[in-house]
Amino acid sequence: MAPLKVRGVKRVIDFAVKVRVAPGGRGVQEQGVKHSMNPFCEIALEEAVRLREKGDAAEVIAVSVGTRQSQETLRTALAVGADRAVLVEVPEGGGAAPGPREVAAALRKVVERERPHVVLLGKQAIDDDCNQTGQILAALLGWPQATCISHLSLDPSAHSALLHREVDGGWERLRLRLPALLTADLRLNQPRYATLPNIMKAKKKPLELLPLAELLGTPPPPPRLRVLSLEEPPGRQGGQRVENVAALLERLAAAGRI
Amino acid sequence: MPVYLAPWRASPCAFQSSRSESMPNLASDGVVCAPLQTFTEEETMLKNMVTKFAQERVAPLVQKMDENSKMEDSVIQGLFEQGLMSIELGEEYGGTGASFFSIILVVEELAKVDPAVSLLCELQNTLTNKLFTTYGTEEQKRTYLPRVAKDTIGSFCLSEAGSGSDAFALKTRAEKRGDYYVINGSKMWISLAEHAGVFFVMANTDPSLGYRGITCFIVDRDTEGLHVGKKEDKLGIRASSTCPVTFENVKVPETNILGQVGQGYKYAIGMLNTGRIGIAAQMLGLAQGCFDHTIPYTKERVQFGKSIFDFQGMQHQIAQVATQLEAARLLTYNAARLAETGRPFIKEASMAKYYAAEVATLTTSKCIEWMGGVGFTKNYPIEKYYRDCKIGTIYEGTSNIQLSTIAKSLAKEY
């Protein structure tokens, strides 16, 4: 039986946009700013679709936790090749966006409902750079996990996954028993473009809306983190030129840097 | 409803492309007043995909293609693979069945990166595919449409050395011999001829009838007697080939006549009307792409202690250009939506093409000035946009022809 995959995707501000701190200093300007799928989520999605094309997976389900606008990200996921999509809807304007803990709690409910064999997430989102959701979700589920993977192959008959992780010392090779949770790193693959025919077909694929409160069965807990302030980094100062290495060392010593 | 809003009353099918559930429905009597820059979900996804594709697969090759005056095979293949050469074609022919407006969006996005690549996509979609689907017999459609959707580029042969704007003065002859025709003549300024696999050849079957003898023939590239000459060494859109094509006793079966004998002139005019909107989109994308490269530079470049963008003189010039760009965009989008919904659009299409070409010329010229010395060198992409824009006022109907067309439409209105 070929495994099912669940893929988490997140809608974030597009990486090419120049981000500005919003008035009030508590967040960044999001209104009218271009958003797109988190690049690491794109990589995870590509891997899931490839596994389905190879025959190692039966179905790819794309899941997102966010406001209704995340539908556009899920449609893109469908256009790239996911079979179904689920949006766990968070009401708009409800204060801070859900953090990793809240997202993991919601995803856990979806996983319990769908019973996939593999959950693939991007290693981190480029807006908060938390790198936590995958790990927390694995702990909540009690599943084996491998984060920052750069190579994956499934062995459905043996119910295991063989993968590489990039770690400080080099590569780590792991074999995980399924069901397992994996998070994708940059070099896992090169995501494809959604071809025009697939974009047109995406409209016909099912996209389910699930309000968060309904999914959890209880009102969602308040966010555990509060942003106190946000500042832009200091402007770039001009550099100084020195004649040679000796002068450089002298300057650095004089400035107390070495 | 107030009188001044009456012109905005649209039939329920207006502003709706084939799939438009996400359009807002503001009034119960079927009037839809969405801004022109409202897209369906698919159109938005398509636009995003093409932006990425253009940035990643086309942008790195632009300078090389321009220098060598040659389109890279990987770019052509990429366009076919992504389904961008068969946007409006039905799925039964291997196309995508998207809206006409989608073509305009794709052409605009591609032109922001390379107007020559955009031209290839534009001609295939608005000319080649449209000619087949509008006038082709079932047999012709079944033979050629799957090919043009998959890997065959089409090329439209109308102009000759002696007939440009005066297109119907063409001299290429087609003589009937039983169940086939023999074509003799030579065409000039034929876009995409270098890579094309199939040609639409406008030839006159009976010069005594004047333009009513002009007939459109479908000719495969490997037909004996068809010769594609050396491509022109051009000022701009150099990656797009422009060649003379000669016909020496080229035999074409009767079954390869597109539509009917003597109706070719009508087809040419009809196709060029929609083609105009495509060219407007190309010029629009060109201007926008050039503008998008320039403004960040003006904000970084510091002179006299502040960024050059902060000088009021510069700001006024930039704002004027941006306003005209927006006007060109709205003219183009509106003409496209009109064409899509089957409403009259000839005047609007001419206005869009004329205006977009003029705006492209103005924008690129100003952008070079704003970039200063750097804008003048080939290290930066700006000077290419400046060279590319000039063709906009010339091909697919010169600006003068557009103005005459607009005037003719106006004459009928009063």
Return the pLDDT at B29: 59
Question: How far away is chain B from the Cα of A81, in angstroms, using its nearest Cα?
Answer: 14
pLDDT at B21 over 80: no
Which stretch of A152-161, A183-192, B174-183, B399-408 has the lowest confidence by average pLDDT?
Answer: A152-161
Taking one residue from A and the other from B, the number of pairs with CB-CB distance under 8 angstroms is: 46
Section B51-68 average pLDDT: 94
Chain A window 160-199: which residues touch B at a Cβ cutoff of 8 Å? 193-197, 199
Convert the pLDDT of each residue in A68-92 to its tens digit.
Answer: 888 888 888 999 999 999 998 888 7
DSSP B330: H
Q: What is the mean pLDDT of residues B221-227?
A: 95
ipTM above 0.90, yes or no: no
Mean pLDDT of B56-73: 95
Q: Which helix (H) or strand (E) holds A122?
A: strand A118-122
Q: Tell me if B137 sits within 8 A of B146, measured CB to CB.
A: no
Band the pLDDT of B15: cuts 50, 70, 90. very low
SS3 (DSSP) at B111: helix
Say whether pLDDT at B131 is over 70.
yes
The pLDDT score that the predictor gives to residue A218 is 76
Instruction: Tell which A residues from 45 to 64 touch B, by Cβ distance under 8 Å.
Output: none
The tens digit of pLDDT for each residue in B319-338 reads: 999 999 999 999 999 999 99
Band the pLDDT of B8: cuts 50, 70, 90: very low
Q: Which residue has the higher pLDDT, B357 or A170?
A: B357
Backbone angles phi, psi at A240, to 5 degrees: -125, 145
Find the CB nearest A36 among B46, B48, B82.
Answer: B48
Determine the pLDDT at residue B352: 97
| pLDDT value for B26 | 44
Give the pLDDT band of residue A36 (cuts 50, 70, 90).
Answer: confident
Residue A200 contacts B where some CB pair is shorter than 8 Å: yes
Residue A145: per-residue pLDDT: 93
Tell me which residue in B19, B48, B83 faces A197 most closely, judged by beta carbons. Answer: B83
Cβ distance of B84 and A196 shorter than 8 Å:
yes
Our CA-based measurement puts residue B42 at a distance from the nearest CA of chain A, in whole angstroms, of 6
- pLDDT per residue over B259-290, tens digit each? 999 999 999 988 989 999 999 999 999 999 99
pLDDT at B9: 43
Contact (CB, 8 A) for A60 and A24: no
Round to whole Å and give the CA distance between A31 and A29: 6
SS3 state at A111: helix
One-character DSSP codes across B214-265: EEEEEEETTSTTEEE-PPP--SS-TTS-EEEEEEEEEEEEGGGEES-TT-HH
Partners of A84 in beta bridges: A61
Between B11 and A128, the more confident residue is A128
CB B289 within 8 A of CB B220: no
CB–CB of B42 and A203 under 8 A? yes
∠ CA B317-B322-B326, nearest 5°, is: 150
Mean pLDDT, to the nearest integer, of B295-320?
95
Q: What is the mean pLDDT of residues B135-139?
A: 93
Nearest-5° Cα angle at B104, B102 to B109: 95
From chain B, the residues in CB contact with A72 under 8 A are 41, 44-45
Instruction: Tell me if chain B has a CB within 8 Å of the CB of A231.
Output: no
Question: Does the structure show a pLDDT above 90 at B293?
Answer: yes
- Model confidence over B47-56: pLDDT tens digits? 989 999 999 9
Mean pLDDT computed over B141-157: 94
Average per-residue pLDDT in chain A? Answer: 84
Of B326, B358, B396, B413, which residue is the catalytic one? B396
Among B42, B52, B98, select the one facing A193 at the smallest CB separation. Answer: B52
pLDDT band of B251, cuts 50, 70, 90: very high
pLDDT digits over A200-234, tens only?
888 889 999 988 888 877 777 777 777 788 888 88
Q: Summarize pLDDT for A110-131 with one digit per residue, the tens.
A: 888 888 888 999 898 888 888 8
> pTM (2 decimals)?
0.84
**pLDDT value at position A93?**
66
B41-53 and B100-113 helices, crossing angle to 10°: 20
- pLDDT of residue A2 exceeding 70: no
Q: Would an 8 Å CB–CB cutoff place A203 in contact with chain B?
A: yes
pLDDT of residue B19: 34
Determine which of A135-149, A202-216, B24-38, B302-316 has the lowest per-residue pLDDT on average.
B24-38
**pLDDT reading at B25 higher than 50:** no
Of A72, A199, A203, the CB nearest to B49: A199
What phi and psi values does residue B175 have, to the nearest 5 degrees?
-100, 135
Mean of all residue pLDDT scores within chain B = 90
- For residues A91 and A106, which has the higher predicted lDDT (pLDDT)? A106
> In this predicted structure, what is the pLDDT of residue A201?
87
What is the percent of chain B with per-residue pLDDT over 90, rounded to a whole number? 83
Position A25 scores a pLDDT of 65
SS3 of residue B98 by DSSP: coil
- For residue range B372-397, what is the model confidence (pLDDT) as tens digits? 999 999 989 999 999 999 999 999 99
pLDDT at position B355 is: 97
A135 touches chain B (CB under 8 A): no
Active site annotation includes B194: no
